[in-house]
Chains A and B, each alone.
With several copies, the nearest count.
Chain A
Amino acid sequence: MSESIKKFMFVNTKAPYGTVYALESLEVVLISAAFDQDVSLVFCDDGVFQISNNQNTEASGMKNFSNAYKALGDYDINKLYVEKESLEERGLTLDNIMDLTYEDEDWAEKPSIKLVTRAELADLMDEQDVVISS
């Protein structure tokens, strides 16, 4: 097998907490950082709720794992694509989404989140080597 870098895309389409997919997908993403691949994340459909602000699980007893998304930048995972149409259909804007950032090579803080249209997303998906959806 070639030792070249592969493009891995994790596509998150489901709301968090109602099912475990958001949490366990994030666990794969964090592990993938150790493999020096070209990793990107997509939040579309109900996946946009995974990175909504102010998640508070106190009264539900669920494990709040939303802070772990903030660690992605430290792992050099900084290509997080949010689908514009998915936000709109849910009455959301980028103000509802966590302010996720990373530090570039000059230690400047940059936004990790890129708003993309559905058509742009289709192009991005088309150029991946591995797509893991949930």
Chain B
Amino acid sequence: MKFTLLINEGPYQHQASDTAYQFAKAALEKGHEIYRVFFYNDGVNNATRLAIPPQDDRNITENWAALGKEHELDMVVCIAAAQRRGMLDADEAGRQGKDADNIHPAFRISGLGQLVEGGIQADRLLTFGD
């Protein structure tokens, strides 16, 4: 079965991203397909490559990145939500005249249409929020 996951909260502040990650891992282990993981609202903050969590804690972004690499997941950050919150990739930073960027290469930036399309293509769309 194909799942699209929608994540609406940032890392650490809420458990939403952790729950979605554990769900994705379990679904993949059972042979299901993750069609897309879409990061919206504060969920875009999961895509930062600049986080330095304490040594004894989980690294949420790196966990997603590793899972994404292993299973070639399509992990999409909403561009509008990301711009509001200061999440940029190098292309965006260049276009917008910003002097730095912070998005991890495991994620790609795209529009909200990717969420709707994810809902159309998948058998189930699950939301993880606050």
Chain A interfacial positions (CB closer than 8 Å to B): 1, 6, 8, 17-21, 24, 27-28, 31-32, 34-35, 37, 60-63, 129-134
Contact = CB atoms under 8 A, between A and B. Distances in A.
Q: Secondary structure of the B side of the interface?
A: mixed
A35 B113 contact: yes
B18 interface: yes
A35 B120 contact: yes
Interface string B1-21: 010001010001111001001
Interface in B53-86: 54, 56-58, 80-81
Nearest to A24: B41
Given A28-B112, A62-B18, A21 B120 contact: no
A132 B113 contact: no
Closest 8 CB pairs of A and B: A130-B119, A31-B112, A63-B57, A32-B116, A130-B125, A20-B13, A18-B15, A35-B116
Contacts of B22: 60-61
B65 to A, nearest CB: 15
B115 interface: yes
Interface in B102-123: 111-113, 115-117, 119-121
A56 B41 CA distance: 24
A31 B120 contact: no
Contacts of A20: 12-14, 41
A20 B11 CA distance: 9
Given A61-B22, A62-B18, A132-B6, A1 B41 contact: no
Given A61-B58, A132-B127, A21 B116 contact: no
B58 A132 contact: no
B39 interface: no
Given A27-B80, A31-B112, A130-B119, A21 B41 contact: yes
